[in-house]
Amino acid sequence: EVQLVQSGAEVKKPGESLKISCKGSGYSFTSYWIGWVRQMPGKGLEWMGIIYPGDSDTRYSPSFQGQVTISADKSISTAYLQWSSLKASDTAMYYCAKQDLAVAPFDYWGQGTLVTVSS
């Protein structure tokens, strides 16, 4: 069974750093792209970027380029999303999701990680 299990909710202050994780199981983690999707409170879905864990090839949405860093550790089947300096506007639910093929939708999703940034 394919599963994506994300790390738990985080409460941070503005200016702090953060790295959240997404662990894949039940499939060949290195063979499929993993994406990150933001959902701000009461809002829609926004694609942030994707990574191919096999070689760490990473692509970013122009809206998020330079704002976050996506990485992966294939030895432990885990993808990451990190911030170096959080802002209040980063408060959101963040989902990881797996693509079936390169040009394909997200067929499996993690449960989401809620990030709250508040002073």
Partner 1 sequence: EIVMTQSPATLSVSPGERATLSCRASQSVSSNLAWYQQKPGQAPRLLIYGASTRATGIPARFSGSGSGTEFTLTISSLQSEDFAVYYCQQYNNWPSLTFGGGTKVEIK
What is the binding site for partner 1 (CB under 8 A)? 35, 37, 44-47, 50, 59, 61-62, 95, 97, 102-107, 109-112
Identity of the residue, 17 or 56, whose beta carbon is nearer to partner 1 in the bound complex: 56
Place of tokens 């330079």: 66
Closest contact distance (angstroms) between CB of 95 and partner 1 is: 6
3-state secondary structure of 74: helix
Question: Considering only CA atoms, which of 48, 23, 26 is closest in space to residue 110?
Answer: 23
The least CB distance from residue 63 to partner 1, in Å, is: 9
> Cα separation of 63 and 79, whole Å?
20
C-beta separation of 10 from 115 below 8 A? yes
Q: Is the Cβ of residue 16 or residue 107 nearer to partner 1 in the bound state?
A: 107
Smaller CB distance to partner 1: residue 63 or 85? 63
